[in-house]
Amino acid sequence: MAVSNAQATQAVDLDATENPHHGADLLIVDDDQAWLNRLGRAMESRGYAVHSAPSVSEGIKLGKSVKPSYAVVDMRLEDGNGLDVVENLRSENPQARIIMLTGYGNIATAVEAVKRGAVDYLAKPADADEIHAALIAAPNERATPPENPMSADRVRWEHIQRVFELCERNVSETARRLNMHRRTLQRILAKRAPR
């Protein structure tokens, strides 16, 4: 069955009315390729024109060429800090809505992300619905609390694991930086991740 130009235009107009971000450019910057692909597909199904980058340098490059209306940027990337991407995106497009993602959230980083131009800050693992809601939220609208937030024990464990990795898995150096006794750290590292 053929669709007339008028019908096609009406369908596009309806879609744009129901979904104001339909066709808007969305930049996703994350170095976890599998997650990047999954989130990209999920956001395309919500009407975004998705552009993805696995690094700070690629994210900045794409940001300059695409000038996206929306962006989702991971905090920790292999070649640097996602805050640099946020700052660059904000300078290229001051109206862009940028969401910062991280597996290692803390108040100082959240404040820094907002100072540099992010409109929200979500802890990983955030799902596509949470990210979409944060992207389209009204400027002063507060996000709803997550259904299953990470426990305080899990957040602590994630932070310790991150510092351990940054110290190249050196227990003594990690304990020193965390101001923790070495044996206490070894016990924590030997346990499974809390829920």
Whether residues 131 and 156 share a domain: the answer is no
Whether residues 32 and 101 share a domain: the answer is yes
Give the pLDDT confidence score for residue 3 in this predicted structure.
Answer: 39
Whether residues 67 and 158 share a domain: the answer is no
Extract long-range pairs of 149-154: CB within 8 Å, 24+ residues apart. 149/123, 150/123, 151/194, 151/195, 153/194, 154/193, 154/194, 154/195
Whether residues 129 and 81 share a domain: the answer is yes
Whether residues 30 and 123 share a domain: the answer is yes
The answer to whether residue 67 is domain-embedded is yes
Please give the angle made by the CA atoms of 26, 155 and 78, to the nearest 5 degrees. Answer: 45
The answer to whether residue 12 is domain-embedded is no
- Domains contained in the chain, number: 2
Whether residues 29 and 120 share a domain: the answer is yes
Give the pLDDT confidence score for residue 12 in this predicted structure.
Answer: 40
Whether residues 127 and 76 share a domain: the answer is yes
Give the pLDDT confidence score for residue 134 in this predicted structure.
Answer: 86
Q: Which residues contact 8 (CB under 8 A, 6 or more apart)?
A: none
Give the pLDDT confidence score for residue 154 in this predicted structure.
Answer: 73
Give the pLDDT confidence score for residue 181 in this predicted structure.
Answer: 93
- Asked whether 67 and 60 are in contact (CB, 8 A), the reply is no
| Residue 92, domain extent | 20-136
The answer to whether residue 5 is domain-embedded is no
Whether residues 171 and 110 share a domain: the answer is no
Q: Specify the CATH number for the domain of residue 47.
A: 3.40.50.2300
Give the pLDDT confidence score for residue 2 in this predicted structure.
Answer: 42
Question: Does an H or E element contain 52, and which?
Answer: strand 49-53
pLDDT tens-digit profile, the chain (195 residues):
343 444 333 434 434 444 566 788 999 999 888 888 999 999 999 999 999 999 999 999 999 999 999 999 988 888 888 889 999 998 888 888 999 887 665 556 767 777 788 888 887 778 888 888 888 887 665 555 556 666 777 777 777 887 888 888 899 999 998 899 999 989 888 887 776
Whether residues 102 and 159 share a domain: the answer is no
The answer to whether the predicted template modeling score (pTM) of the entire model surpasses 0.75 is no
Beta partners for 25? 49
Whether residues 115 and 179 share a domain: the answer is no
Give the pLDDT confidence score for residue 159 in this predicted structure.
Answer: 78
